[in-house]
Structure 1
């Protein structure tokens, strides 16, 4: 039996990781890591929601499945927003109008949902009884207002 050398393992690791990153880049583009971040936040939000429910003795499988379906809906929303922008850009090419600005739509939706997931994770920690620094809670609220262009006078 041949013994695997360290270099063989490193080469295999690099090849596999490189292949995964190449596939993600083909599917999600050069900013694939933002979509991966959103996926990680989805899982973290689901887990912290489950943890909060467990700590507060309010576990409910129906609510858990609603949460999973909500996350799937978010991914569908992202796909639709990017598809709409691609469609508008193509229509612009056909009619001779630069509609490249519509790419903003997909990125806006993704950034709004990332902030929403982070806020939900923080809320889960707060409701589970964790001491969450106010700077984090307030900072996320400010970021949400900036992304969604909410004026202070409107939120009062």
Structure 2
């Protein structure tokens, strides 16, 4: 009679579950699904650090919390619209015989901009909560934001 090793069963089940999740995410979001997962995790971290900041200041507010969640949902809609629009432009380009493949960058720039925005918001939450945030992180995010959002900042000086 073969002995059952529960650790192996648990590890095999875990591997199968993680593999299934990765396969589904890859199918839905494409080969760069990890970027969307990273954005989602940053959404959660930003919401949590915002709550933490409010809690530490004694200014917790369920309405503000709900507004933060709705704002995050709005970001996801913005990402869907930008990637959907770029896919539509590419298809229109095929239909009329014009290469509009460059429009695929639209979704990626929106995602990059929103990722930078989330990280900056997390850092701001830490600063406002009294944490000592390294200046290199704050300055580095500002530089990244200016590079990704050149057009928006071109009038600044």
Q: What TM-score range do you get, normalising by the shorter chain?
A: over 0.9
Aligned to 2:64: 63
SS in 2 for 1:58: coil
TM-score scaled by length of structure 1: 0.93
Aligned to 2:48: 47
Which sections of structure 2, spanning at least 5 residues, go unmatched?
A: none
Aligned to 1:127: 128
1-side partners of 2:152 and 2:58: how far apart? 38
Cα 1:37/1:152, change in 2 over 3 Å? closer
Deviation at 1:150, TM superposition (A): 5.4
2-side partners of 1:74 and 1:129: how far apart? 27
TM-score scaled by length of structure 2: 0.93
Aligned to 1:75: 76
Runs (4+) of structure 1 exceeding 6 A deviation are none
1-side partners of 2:13 and 2:112: how far apart? 35
1-side partners of 2:109 and 2:134: how far apart? 27
What is the number of residues matched between the two proteins? Answer: 155
Could you give the per-residue CA deviations for residues 95-146 of structure 1, whole angstroms, max 9, x where no partner exists?
1111111100000000000000000000000000000011100110010000
1-side partners of 2:152 and 2:20: how far apart? 45
Which sections of structure 1, spanning at least 5 residues, go unmatched?
A: none
